[in-house]
Structure 1
Amino acid sequence: MPTRSYQSTNDAQDAVLAIRVGESIAELRRAKGLTQAQLAEMIDLEQEAVSRWERGTRVPTLHRLQQLSDALECSVDQLLQRGSKRPNDQMANIADALNGLDTDERMLVVNFVQQFTDMLRSRHSTKGQRRK
């Protein structure tokens, strides 16, 4: 039988996931130029259901996630990956952000990310040296 702390941890993680999925839905919906009402109509739902998902107060069922991914022309993974702490999910989000950019723009972003990560690594090594 699960303990209360285990249940409360799961409840907290579920709440965070609901918020992340809701943010993904809202972001992808806006990128497609859709209103909540238009998206709801596309998947045969009331606008209030989309609003609850986007606010993170409810989570779409698996069936609705599939409908959303079809309507928003994305994968279910994209709806679930936002805010993930896993490096592979974070890299997938960056790769998605590069879509639609021309070669020069992508190179600009890649160079910026490389310079920024180099700067952060040097800060980490500097902090480590100060502690010694």
Structure 2
Amino acid sequence: MKLRQRIGLTQRQVAQALDIRQSTVSDWERGISIPNLPPSKIKLMLEIYQCSLDELIEAFEDTKKRKKIDRDGDAIDSENN
């Protein structure tokens, strides 16, 4: 995710700060899932990513837009196809 890369953190560092699994952060960044966190964790995400709520929402919407679903229902990255 551009927000994470912009501030120079790894997925592991974000996961540790949010007390979640690194695979969850990876899933968010690949558009497989979106954050389903309590407001206190969303606020923490804004602090970690040093962004506004609008920027955070836009980042996740952009990630989802890059994903396409093939006929078998498998997600594929539209940037590579």
* TM-score, scaled relative to structure 1: 0.40
2:35 is matched with which residue?
60
Q: Which has the higher strand share?
A: 2
Which digits, 9 at most, give the CA deviation of each residue in 1:10-59, with x for residues without a partner?
Answer: xxxxxxxxxxxxxxxx1010011111001111111110000000011111
The answer to whether 1:36 aligns with 2:11 is yes
> 2:30 and 2:42 mapped to 1: Cα distance?
16
- Name segments (4+ residues, structure 1) moved above 3 Å: none
Unaligned runs of 5+ in 2: 63-81
In the alignment of these two chains, the number of paired residues is 59
Q: Percent identity?
A: 37
SS at match of 1:51: helix
Q: Which amino acid aligns with 2:9?
A: L
1:81 is matched with which residue?
58
1:69 is matched with which residue?
46
Unaligned runs of 5+ in 1: 1-25, 85-132
> 1:65 and 1:45 mapped to 2: Cα distance?
12
Q: Which has the higher helix share?
A: 1
2:79 is matched with which residue?
none
| Aligned alpha-carbon RMSD (Å) | 1.9
* TM-score, scaled relative to structure 2: 0.62
